[in-house]
Amino acid sequence: MADIKKVVLAYSGGLDTSVIVKWLQETYHCEVVTFTADLGQGEEVEPARAKAKALGVKEIYIEDLREEFVRDFVFPMFRANAVYEGEYLLGTSIARPLIAKRLIEIANLTGADAISHGATGKGNDQVRFELGAYALKPGVEVIAPWREWDLSSRESLMDYCEKNDIPVDFKNKKSSPYSMDANLLHISYESGMLEDPWHPSDEDMWRWTVSPEAAPDEATYIELDYQKGDIVAINGEPMSPATILTELNRVAGANGIGRLDIVENRYVGMKARGCYETPGGTVMLKAHRAIESITMDREAAHLKDEIMPRYAKLVYNGYWWSEERQMLQALINRSQEYVNGTVKLKLYKGNVDVVGRKSEDSLFDAAMATMEDDAGAYNQQDAAGFIKLNALRMRIEASKGRDLLK
C-alpha cells in the first residue's frame, strides 16, 4: 500500500463519502482533506462542513462553482451541440472534469499526495475523475475505495457507520429508491426499478419537470440573445451563465420539457438504463441550432455535425482534458464567431418549437430565397450546368453499362 500522508476527497456529506473519510483514515493512516462543490444540485452543501468536522477533518473546502461550471464547461459543450448516442445531453459527464480540476488544485495547495472519490468500479465516473486527475497531475495517486474495500451494499455501509460511530443523520429516513446525481444542467436517475428497462418510471420520481399532461394549456414564449454561440440574455435581460441556466430550467420544467428515458452504452462496457431531466439544456440545444441555421456557412455547419459525435464521445468517456478535445474545441469556438442574434421559442406541453430567429450576421438572403420575383438576384439557368457537372460521374458509370438498379 502506497505511503499516503494526505488525501483530498470529493466529499458530498452523504453516506458513501462519510464512510470513505473514516475508511481512508483507518486504512491509510492519513490526513483527509474534504472538497465539496456546489454545482447547482439544489441541496445545501454547507452541512457537509459539520459532518466533516465530526469525522476529524481539519481542512475543509466548500466552494460555489456554479458560474464556472456553466461558463467554462456547459456553454463550450453546447457550442458543439453535443449529444451522446443521439439523445443524452451529457449532464453528469460535463461536471466531472471540473471536480477533477479542483481536486488537483486543492491537492497542490494543501500538499496532498493523493485524491479520492466515491465512484463505483462499475460506472463511468471513476474513469472521468481519474482521467482528468492524471491529465492535470500525472504523478498523483488515486484511491478509489469501491475498488478496494469489501463493503458492497447500503446495509454494509450502515453497519460500518454503527461500528465506527459515524453520524449519519438520515439513517432512519426513507431513502430514494434511485441513485441520483444533480447539477445545474440535469438530474440523473438510475438503479432500483429502473434496472428493468421494461419498467416505466414513476411520475413521482421527477423533481424538476411537470408531466407534459399537467403542463399549462397556454404556451410560453421566450427570446434568447446570443453572442458568439453563448446565451447572454433572456427576454432582453442580461444574465450570468448560471443564472441563465437556472431560469431556463425553471421555465422549461414548468412546461414539461426535458425528460429522457434511455439505455446507454457505458465506457466500461455494459449497457445501463438511465432517466434524465435536462429542461434548460433541451431548450438550449434547440435554440442554438436555430441561431446557427441563419449565421453559419453550410459547409462549416456540416463539418460541425460530422465531428459532434466524436466530441460528445470524448466528453462522455472522460477525455475533457485531452489534446484532441481541446483541438476540436478550438475549431468549434472559431465556428461561433458570427453566431450572434436572437431566437424566439414556443414552449408547450413538453415541446420546444422555434418560431423566429434574427441576426445582424444572418446569411439568409430573402432576395435569393424568395419564391416570388427575385429581380435578377439569382439566375436559375445556372442550375443546369451545376446539375450536369455533379451528375458527370454517374453519367460516365451508366455509359459504361453499369447497372445501378441491382
Positions marked active-site: 16, 96, 125, 179
What sign does the dihedral 322-104-128-288 (CA atoms) show?
negative
Q: Which residue has the cell 460516365?
A: 396
Strand partners, 157: none
Backbone φ and ψ of 275, nearest 5°: -115, 140
How many Å apart are CA 282 and CA 337, to the nearest integer?
A: 23
Q: Which of 122, 176, 121, 159 is nearest to 22 (CA)?
A: 159
Q: Where are the alpha helices (DSSP H) in 146-188?
A: 154-163
Contact 145, 116 (CB under 8 A): yes
Backbone φ and ψ of 374, nearest 5°: -95, 5
Q: State the pairing for strand pair 114-116/59-64.
A: unpaired
Contact 293, 153 (CB under 8 A): no
| HSE of 87, CA atoms in CB hemisphere, 13 A | 13
What is the strand order of the sheet 230-234 is part of? 237-238, 230-234, 220-227, 341-348, 351-358
Q: What is the residue-wise DSSP string for 371-396?
A: SS--TTSS-TTHHHHHHHHHHHHHHH
How many Cβ atoms from other residues are within 10 Å of residue 134's Cβ? 15
Query: What residues contact residue 244 under an 8 Å CB cut-off, 6+ apart?
Result: 70, 231, 232, 234
